[in-house]
Amino acid sequence: MKKTYRKFLNFFMLFLSSLMAFYGIFWLFWILGSLFINGIKYLKPELVYLDPTPPGVEGGGLRPAFVGHFIITSLATLIGIPAGIMAGIFFSEYGRNSTFFKVLRQITDIMVSTPSIIMGAVVYALLVKPIGHFNGLSGAVALALLMMPVIAVTTDEMLRLVPQQMREAAYALGAYKWQVIKDVVFRAAKVGILTGVLLGVARITGETAPLLFTALNNNSLNLDLMKPMASLTVTIFNYVMGPYDYWHKQAWASAFILTMGVLLLSVIAKTVLNGNILKPLSHIARSFTKKGKEVSNSW
């Protein structure tokens, strides 16, 4: 009787889990399918290299939005990646036994799930309001602050996976701590760190709320970071809410381009993560074993 009950419970939970998985996958593919069909339909080369036309006049493109989005995202990446990686290294290698830095690590975990609109409001109070107007630099800072916790947490976790024996072997050979981190620990965990970087970039690429509070938007091409700057996500939001049919078509095409870019980054991150992460560890371990034998023979 108990055996039959366990089999029934196992089958029921398996069926329920499979049903929920297919339910989620169905809506995911429905969204991607709708975006693909409508995006491909209205996708034109003019969308990328032409400026917008006046409201109500069909044609034109979204060149300011593409250029502005690239500038803001690139600057946020240049700010967020080094800061996030250095924070992860500090949590793992220097603050592992410190209560203060353990608290900071918990705060970083909380920041990973912080709503992006809150980050935009914080940057608005710190940068936009003192300057007196919206600007592209504050938008890049807001996106960088969203990216840094993701990269910091991933870097910390990847570095903790490196065996302590590898650090001890490097110390035994006379290496300084910064050499151990740079040549042994970081090198062994570079695959996982790269995955965190790609996921961080993928997250900020599609953010809209922080840019509404910081960079706002601009209908003309602007390369000055201290002025309002157009972005693809905010332009899509404005066009979807607009009354013109050609705005909606351009929003579909832009959303398709943006989604495919984020999807490509996610696929690359998953591919890198599913690679042989133990290969660098074994390679470095063999190299240190070889060096240790050479030192022993010289003695």
Distance (Å, rounded) from C-alpha 108 to C-alpha 37?
39
Residue type for 158, please? M
Cα-only R_g, the chain? 24
Distance (Å, rounded) from C-alpha 162 to C-alpha 254?
42
pLDDT per position as a tens digit, 219-270: 899 999 999 999 999 999 999 999 999 999 999 999 999 998 888 877 877 7
Biggest alpha carbon distance in the chain? 84
pLDDT per position as a tens digit, 172-216: 988 999 999 999 999 899 888 988 898 899 889 989 999 999 999
- The CATH superfamily of 62-298 is MetI-like (1.10.3720.10)
User: Does the pLDDT at position 84 exceed 90?
Assistant: yes
Distance (Å, rounded) from C-alpha 16 to C-alpha 52?
50
Helix extents (H) in the chain: 2-42, 46-49, 63-89, 99-112, 116-123, 129-131, 136-160, 164-172, 177-180, 186-188, 190-205, 209-213, 232-241, 245-273, 278-298
Q: Give percent above pLDDT 90 in the chain.
A: 63
pLDDT per position as a tens digit, 130-180: 999 999 999 999 999 999 999 999 999 999 999 999 999 999 988 999 999
3-state secondary structure of 261: helix
3-state secondary structure of 52: strand
pTM of the model: 0.83
Please give the average per-residue pLDDT across 28-57, as a whole number.
Answer: 91
**Residue 217 near residue 139, CB atoms below 8 Å:** no
Other C-beta atoms lying within 10 Å of the C-beta of residue 222? 19
Token readout for 3 is 């055996």
Q: Output the CA torsion 183→186→188→193 (10° steps).
A: -150
pLDDT at position 88 is 93
**At a CB cut-off of 8 Å and minimum separation 6, what does 195 contact?**
154, 269, 270, 272, 273
Extents of the domains making up the chain:
62-298
User: Does the pLDDT at position 290 exceed 70?
Assistant: no
Token readout for 37 is 């069909």
In angstroms, the Cα distances linking 199 to 13, 57, 193, 207, 228 are: 32, 39, 10, 13, 27
By CB neighbour count within 10 A (0-12 exposed, 13-18 middle, 19+ buried), where does 27 fall?
exposed
Distance (Å, rounded) from C-alpha 150 to C-alpha 193?
10
Token readout for 217 is 């938007």
User: Does the pLDDT at position 297 exceed 90?
Assistant: no
Side-chain half-sphere CA neighbours of 27 within 13 A: 5
**Residue 177 near residue 139, CB atoms below 8 Å:** no
pLDDT per position as a tens digit, 11-26: 999 999 999 999 999 9
